Amino acid sequence: MRWQFPTLLLLALPLAPLAPQSPHDRLALDKFRDSLDAVHDPASLRALRRGLADRRPFDPATSLRAALAALRLTALGGDSGAGLARSELRRLVKRRADWPYAWHALAVAERRRAEWERADPLALGNRVGTGTIERALEHERRALAADPAFAPAALALAATALALHDTAHYAP
């Protein structure tokens, strides 16, 4: 009987909610993203992303770093459709819907996906990539719902809505 209480306490520990993303966390993520801009080797970015993504147990901050590495890989042409970043970020926002940085990064990945779709010479029509851009708008809205003071999401939301030339998207 003596050992049951500590065991129950240990079982409840992983269920405790993580603290929401702090401004200090966001600053550290900005610094990490800026450091990735200096990397121009897709092979080293793939290795970094794989190393971060494969860590167990799941750590949201590490997962976000892996997604940022995947976004940089996309910028270098190593993952043109941003599939790696989008899948990593979708998993992350399911677990941490209160993190505005994750929602904003997912919107960035969706915009890169839309650029890739629009650049496809075999894609016909004038609305190619529009659905993906609309998903990016929704992700930016979710980032602002998580933290209304998160300026990168607010700026990206405005720019993306204006780029669509659709006044229905101007409402907050």
Please, what is the angle between helix 23-36 and helix 60-75, to 10°?
30
Tens-digit pLDDT profile for residues 144-169: 999 999 999 999 999 998 888 765 65
146: CATH: 1.25.40.10
Q: What is the pTM of this model?
A: 0.81
Domain assignment of residue 16, yes or no = no
Quote the percentage of the chain above a pLDDT of 90. Answer: 60
Tell me the average pLDDT across 31-38: 95
Q: CB of 151 within 8 A of CB of 101?
A: no
Domain assignment of residue 23, yes or no = no
Segments forming the whole domain that contains residue 131: 40-169
Domain assignment of residue 2, yes or no = no
**Higher pLDDT, residue 111 or 17:** 111
Q: Indicate left, alpha or beta for 2 from its phi (over 0: left) and psi (-120 to 50: alpha).
A: alpha
Residue carrying structure tokens 């450091």: 35
Tell me the average pLDDT across 74-101: 93
Domain assignment of residue 118, yes or no = yes
* Per-residue confidence (pLDDT) for residue 171, from 0 to 100: 57
**Is the pLDDT score of 47 beyond 80?**
yes
Domain assignment of residue 110, yes or no = yes
Domain assignment of residue 120, yes or no = yes
**Higher pLDDT, residue 32 or 1:** 32
Q: What's the number of domains the chain is made of?
A: 1
Domain assignment of residue 32, yes or no = no
Tell me the average pLDDT across 104-125: 88
Domain assignment of residue 20, yes or no = no
Q: CB of 86 within 8 A of CB of 110?
A: yes
